[in-house]
Amino acid sequence: MARGDALALLHLGARLPNDEDLVALAAAAARGRHENQPDVPPTGGLLPDPRTGWRGPLLAEFDLHGQPVTPRWRELTLQTTPDRRTIWADWKDEALETHLRISWTMDAGDVIRTRAQFIDTGPRAIDERGVVTTRCASLLLPLPRGFGHVTHFAGRWADDMRAERLPVTRAGLSWASRGGKSGFAGGDWLAFDDAETGAQLGFHIAATGDHEVRIERNDDGDAVLVAETPVGVEGRSIFDTPEALIVWAPDAATLTRAFHTHARARLARHPHNPPRERRVHFNTWEACTFDFDEARLMRLAEDAAMLGAERFVLDDGWFKGRSSDRAGLGDWVPDPVRFPNGLGPLIAHVKALGMDFGLWVEPEMVSPDSDLYRAHPDWCLHEPGLPRPTERNQLVLDFTRPEVGDHIQACIARLLRENDIAYLKWDHNRRLFPLPALGTHSGRLDMMWYQLRADFPDTMIESCSSGGGRIDMGLLGRIERFWPSDNNDAIERIRIMREWSRFMPLEVLGSHVGPSPNPITGRRLAMDFRAKVAVFGHMGVEADPARMTDKERESLAAHIALYKQWRSVLHAGDLHHLAHPDPNVTGMMVTHEDKALALVAQTAFSPVFDAAPVRLAGLDPQARYRVTLPEPWPPRARHYLGDPDAWRAGLVLSGAALMTHGLALPLTHPETAWIIALETIA
C-alpha cells in the first residue's frame, strides 16, 4: 500500500477476497505510538527511509564524491500488467540522478519473483557524477508476525544441505557465501514457519555467485529479511539485482509443490529446452577414476548397457595430459595417448550399444601444468607480483577478460560440433580467488550457457560444483540437471535428497548408485538399498559392474527397469514427504494422475520389532487403490512380510485407509528400504 512516497507491505499470506477493503485492513493493522518512538511512528515497508526514525536495514546505500549519502526517493508511481500479475514501483532521486524500480511478479506456483533495478537518469557519465553504489539488496522483506522460526540448509563438501531450525530473535541471523559460487553456506534457501498455524514462508535468492542473507529484528518486534549480492568493483548505479523468490503456503507440502511448479515452468519456458526423458546415466568416475584407456572404457560401456543404462558419461581424465588432478585443465582436446583416434571410436561404440554419450568438463579452471597456462599465464585470477595460490592443484580463469571467455566458449563449442555429445557434466570445484568482479564472471557464464543451449539444443548440461555448491533457480533452463552432492552413500543421500527436494523436483536432481564400500564414508551397503534410494531422482550408476556379484547386477538391473517404468510419474507428479514416529525412517511419495510411487527407508536399528505403519499422503480419500510392493524385496526384511502372495497380487484399499491407517512394513533392520506402488482402480 502506498503512503506518499513510502510503500508498505500490507499482507503476505493466504489469498483475500477480491473485494477486501484494503483501507480497513490497513487500519486494523495500524499501531499507536509507544513511549520510545518518534511522534510519527516510522514504518519500515519495502523501501524504508532512515529520516523517519527507521532503525532497520536499507535497500541500498550510496557514496557521492566519496561521502556516504542517504537517497531521497521521491515521486512514487505504481504500474501493473493487464493481468495484474506484475507490479512495478518507481522512484527518482534528483541528487543521485538515479531511477529505482522494484518489481514483483506472481509467477508459476504462486511464487513471487522480485528484484531491484537502478537506472542512470543523469546527463553526465557515472564517474563524472561521482555516484557509487556501495551495497544493494534484491529483497528487503518485512516478515509477517508469527514466523518465529527459520530453517536454513548449511553443510560442507560431501555433507550438503543439512537442515537447522533456529528461532528468529533480536540477536539476528546471517549467512554469507564467498568465493564466487552459492556454495554450502545455507543462506540462499530458507523456510520460515509459523508454529501456531503451520504456515510456511519460503525464500530463495537466485544468484549463481556470492550472496549475503540476514534477518534483523528490533525491540518493537519487527523482523526484516535482507538478501543481497556484491555490487561489483565498478560500484555502478546502473544494474539489476538477481531475483529473489518468496512464496507463502499453508503447510510444508504446499510450499514444496509451489517451488516444484515454479522450477518446472522455468525449465519449460526456455526457448532452447526441448522436453526430454531423464535417461539412466552410467558415470565412469567411481568405477575407474583416472585409471582407464579406450579399451577399458569400451568394456565398461558394454557392462553398463547390460544393466540397462541409457547414457554413458566419461568423467575426468579424458583430455590431454590428465592422468591425475595435477595437470591438463584448460586443454580441452582428447588425450592422444588414451584416445589416439580421438573420442570418435568410443562414442561410436557407446551409440552402437544403444546409449548416448556424455562428457565431464571444468571449463572455468586451468592447471598450472597445461598448454593453456604456459601460453597465457596471465589468463588466471592473480595479483601481479604475488604468488598464485592453488586449490585442488588448479587456478581459476579470469572471465572478466573477454578473450578468456571467448576462448573457452570456442573450445567447448568445438567439442560439441566434432563429437556426438548428448550431455555435459559442467564442474566447478574450487572457489574464485583472488576475487574477480564476480558479477562479470557469472554474467559471462550465463551468456555462455545460453549460447551453448541455443547452438546445441540436444545437449543437456548439468551443474556440478563439488556436489551441490552451485544450485539455484536462476540456472534452470540453461542448466537442466544438478548434482546434489559428491557423496553417493545411500544413507547420506536419503537426507540430502529429502532436503534438496523441498525446493527442486526429482527430475533435476541426479541420484546415483555408488560402490560399496563407499569411497567417501567407507560404509558398506547392500545393492538393494542403494538402488532403491537412487530410483527417487534422476537415476544413475557410478560403480564398476565387473566388481559386483551376479546377484548385485541382477538387483541393479531390476531397479533400473523399475525406474524406467515409473519415471513418468516421478518426474511429473507431486512430491510428499511422509511422516513417521521413528526418526530414522524416511519416506517420500510422488502422486501423478492415477498412479503413485513411494519409498520408505530405515537407516538405523529400530528400537521395536514391529515399526509403526507407514501412512501415505496425497491420495483421494474416496478412491480405491491397488497397492503392491515391486520386487526385488530387501533380502533380510522380506522374511518378515505377513502375506507375500497378497502383496504380489495387490491389496485394494481406500485412499482414506492408506492415509490414516497406513501399511505395516518390516522396518526393523538398518539399511532396509521398500518401494510401494499404487494404481487407482476405476
The number of distinct structural domains making up the chain is: 3
Cell output for 120: 542512470
Instruction: Supply the pLDDT for residue 652.
Output: 98
Task: Say whether both 67 and 160 belong to one domain.
Answer: yes
d(CA 412, CA 90): 42
Task: Say whether both 97 and 181 belong to one domain.
Answer: yes
Q: How many CB atoms lie within 10 A of CB 680?
A: 15
pLDDT along the chain (682 residues), means of 10: 83 94 90 84 82 86 86 93 95 90 96 93 66 86 96 94 96 91 89 96 93 92 92 61 96 97 92 82 97 97 98 98 97 98 98 98 98 97 94 94 96 98 96 76 87 93 95 93 98 98 98 97 98 98 98 98 98 97 97 98 95 97 98 95 95 98 96 98 87
Q: How many CB atoms lie within 10 A of CB 229?
A: 25
d(CA 307, CA 305): 5
Residue 614 lies in a domain: yes
Helix axes 490-500, 527-535, angle to 10 degrees: 10
Beta partners for 116?
102
List Cβ neighbours of 646 (8 Å cut-off, separation of 6 or more).
none
Task: Say whether both 191 and 325 belong to one domain.
Answer: no
- Residue-number span of the structural domain to which 170 is assigned: 58-250
Residue 133 lies in a domain: yes
Task: Say whether both 289 and 244 belong to one domain.
Answer: no
Distances (CA, A) of 256 to 11, 259, 508, 534, 575: 22, 5, 14, 20, 8
d(CA 610, CA 662): 14
Select which of 49, 107, 356, 486 is catalytic. 486
Residue 587 lies in a domain: yes
Owner of C-alpha cell 485394494: 652
Owner of C-alpha cell 513510502: 6
Q: Read off the CATH number of the domain in which 179 is found.
A: 2.70.98.60
Instruction: Supply the pLDDT for residue 459.
Output: 95
Task: Say whether both 319 and 402 belong to one domain.
Answer: yes
d(CA 115, CA 104): 7
Is 335 in the active site? no
Owner of C-alpha cell 520408505: 600
Residue 469 lies in a domain: yes
Task: Say whether both 246 and 337 belong to one domain.
Answer: no
Residue 276 lies in a domain: no
Residue 267 lies in a domain: no
Select which of 193, 427, 472, 489 is catalytic. 427
Instruction: Supply the pLDDT for residue 119.
Output: 86
Task: Say whether both 104 and 232 belong to one domain.
Answer: yes
Owner of C-alpha cell 514466523: 147
Owner of C-alpha cell 553526465: 124
The per-residue DSSP string of 488-502 comes to: --HHHHHHHHHHHTT
| 397 contacts 330 by C-beta, under 8 angstroms | yes
Per-residue buried b or exposed e for 610-642, using 16+ beta carbons within 10 Å of the residue's own CB: ebebbbbbbbeeebebebbbbebbbeebbebbe
The per-residue DSSP string of 530-593 comes to: HHHHHHSSEEEE-S-GGGS-HHHHHHHHHHHHHHHHHHHHHTTSEEEEEP-SSTTEEEEEEEET
Label the pairing between strands 672-680 and 595-602.
antiparallel
Instruction: Supply the pLDDT for residue 237.
Output: 57
Residue 580 lies in a domain: yes
Q: Read off the CATH number of the domain in which 460 is found.
A: 3.20.20.70
Cβ-count burial of 84 within 10 angstroms (0-12 exposed, 13-18 middle, 19+ buried)? exposed
Is 427 in the active site? yes
| 215 contacts 223 by C-beta, under 8 angstroms | yes
Distances (CA, A) of 542 to 199, 276, 313, 325: 40, 22, 10, 19
The per-residue DSSP string of 313-372 comes to: EE-SS-BTT-SSTTS-TT--SB-TTT-TT-SHHHHHHHHHTT-EEEEEE-TTEE-SSSHH
Residue 640 lies in a domain: yes
Instruction: Supply the pLDDT for residue 125.
Output: 57
Instruction: Supply the pLDDT for residue 62.
Output: 86
**Closest C-alpha to 589, from 248, 256, 308:** 256
d(CA 44, CA 223): 10
> What pTM was estimated for this model as a whole?
0.96
